Amino acid sequence: MRGKVPEIVCAGALQLSKAHFLAIVEAIMTDQVETQPVFGLASSGLVRADGLDNPYWFSDARFGPLRVYDLQKHNASASQSRAAGTVDLDIALGAALSLYDAKTAVYSALTGKLAKSLMMELQDLDSARPINTYGVDSPVAVDLRAWTLKEAQSIVHVSDVLKSVPILTRHPGPDQTYYFPEHLIASHSFLLVGESEITAKMPALRAVAPFLRASRHSLRAGSTANPLQFAIRHQQNVGAAFNLARTYAAVYERSKPHVNIGTIGHVDHGKTTLSAAITKRQAEKGLANFLEYGAIDKAPEERKRGITISSAHIEYSTDNRHYSHVDCPGHADYIKNMITGAANMDGAIIVVAASDGQMPQTREHLLLARQVGVQKIVVFVNKIDAIEDPEMLELVEMEMRELLNTYGFEGDETPVIMGSALMAMEGKREDIGAQKIDELLKAVDEWIPTPERDLDKPFLMSVEDVFSIAGRGTVASGRVERGVLKKDSEVELVGKGGDVIKTKVTDIETFKKSCEESRAGDNSGLLLRGIRREDVRRGMVVCKPGTVKSHKKFMVSLYVLTKDEGGRHTGFQENYRPQMYLRTADEACALFFPDDAEDKTRMVMPGDNVEMVATLHNPLAVEAGQRVNVREGGRTVATGIVTRIIE
């Protein structure tokens, strides 16, 4: 069952509005689930969604059909709808989901989005109303009667779940007290009412659900035993002092230093294949989720053309560090997207095919990486399985070391790893496949330093991507440049013209894992309250209120690239109008000489260092000391730094 989520059928009674129901379904469908699940939320009294046809079908080619059944309407008096029923629903959801070794995204979609949505009124939806479950005030006599596990060919009743998981045992009496088993007191004291008591009263049951959700058990198909007991007996191999593994899947842990790196280099040299090979190798060690080539290049256009167009973010760990990895596009037409990705890197892996050697985008990517502040680079010479002459490989290595020195990197000391990402992916020729991936990651661990983060400065995150989650709001994602942001903090959206937008961050996710705070270096998604998707655009910044302003006019110190460096062949004069790139933003601008310049008619030639005044078409969030790149006609013309804000 590992890696595949079977159909889930829930017997029980829920009542929700059409808008609320659709919002939940949308949340599941848009979570980019890596498996191909078929979810069914169903009942004998089941899900009643007002205004929906019965049964109501959703289908999506990526995920297969999402089946929703409405078998009969469940009539119950309002007096039967109690708060305790809501708690029971949470427990049942958690208990059932704990039986699956599903992928994190599926956990997130079903538990995080679905359970939260069911437990709370959605403030963003006018038509939403509270969810009612019908059952008596007891966790064993709840109307959510059974969960059918199709692939395990068995049924788990809610009462079985609660009995099988020895968290609470009922104590008869008027106070409805539940005893905590003594052997679990030390490990699960967070569920207790008081330090010395071994009882947990009804409100404490809410805390059980995330605990149950996070404990993963492997099931074997064909078992007719109670799956939970089967899992405990056969998989966990523990006795009376049994303790569920607390692997909180949906929470982002900061147990290792975090570093942002990426793959850069010429188109078709194997950057995406190498990224996939890294996840495969680390997945074998339990340090990543394996992503195939197609899962990194997700867009239909990317798959059709076999090239990366927009930067893709993946995550993995080594023994020493946690990595956020950006797979950058190498095609000349998509350098703009590469700059956005490279602006978020602390170090980089430059991929060069042994069959081609260095190519135009190899050189341009190195230059851009230098300009956005990447200090250290590791070289991976790919496709060596296609080269028979060892002297050819030596030549490629010498060329790359020279090129690194040219662009100000330490070419003589930089690690150069030679291997084949394809062999690593296919599990062939370990000497040039898997072993070389290990060598590469060891070199990255040792050569690329762990950066110092600006945690004390005011929070700032440059927006790289924007998307919306129906019923919840708009999410802005990007790399946090500095500071720390906690949930429910007030923030401002600045840049891309218009007024400053004030909002509140209601949730924070890092790699689809919920976290209480976002800090410098993280790639985070921020859920913004009351903001429409069209109000947020790439290039804006999310910042602490009052700390950043947008500007239209500022002084820049530029170095104009020579023809050999990929720049212009000829010079330019005042009122030159290229595109300017700042952080993740790009904006048309005009360049003028300062008012006190001696000769305003002179030509600025390739190779010159020059001070100029930049006037943007639309204001952006700009600060003194910020790096800029100037591009025109598909090439980088100049690079530099903002020296002074004028207006």
Task: Name the residues annotated as catalytic.
Answer: 268, 271-272, 331
Tokens of 83: 């708060």
Return the number of other C-beta atoms located less than 10 Å from residue 606's C-beta: 19
Helix (H) or strand (E) holding 276: helix 271-284
Strand, coil or helix: 36: coil
Q: What is the maximum alpha-carbon separation in the chain?
A: 94
Provide CB contacts within 8 A for 578, sequence distance 6+: 588, 589, 591, 630, 631, 632, 637, 638
Query: What b/e sequence results for 137-151 when a residue is b if at least 16 CB atoms lie within 10 Å of its CB, and e otherwise?
Result: eebeebbbbbbbbeb
Question: How many residues would you count in the chain?
Answer: 647
Spatial CA neighbour of 296 closest among 312, 282, 285, 281: 312
Q: How far is residue 227's CA from residue 243's CA, in Å, rounded to a whole number? A: 17
Cα separation, 307 vs 272, whole angstroms: 9
CA dist., res. 81 & res. 66, Å (int): 28
Residue whose C-alpha is closest to residue 81's, from 123, 43, 129, 114: 129
Q: Residue 330 is which amino acid?
A: G
End-to-end CA distance of the chain: 61
Count of C-beta atoms within a 10 Å radius of residue 190: 8
Q: Quickly list H helices, 357-433.
A: 360-371, 390-406, 421-426
- List of residues 6+ apart from 566 with CB closer than 8 A: 360, 363, 364, 367, 635, 636
Distance, CA of 298 to CA of 308 (rounded, Å): 9
Neighbours of 153 (CB within 10 A): 12
State how far Cα 36 lies from the chain centre: 19
Place of tokens 């409805």: 176
- How far apart CA 259 and CA 261 sit, in angstroms, is 6
CA 552, 554, 559, 562 torsion: positive or negative? Answer: positive
Please give the helix or strand (H or E) that residue 504 lies within, else none: strand 501-510
Q: Do the beta carbons of residue 485 and residue 518 sit within 8 Å?
A: yes
SS3 category, 461 = strand
C-alpha 471/C-alpha 452 separation (Å) is 38
d(CA 404, CA 401): 5
For 367, residues 6+ apart whose C-beta sits below 8 A from its C-beta are 407, 561, 565, 566, 636, 639
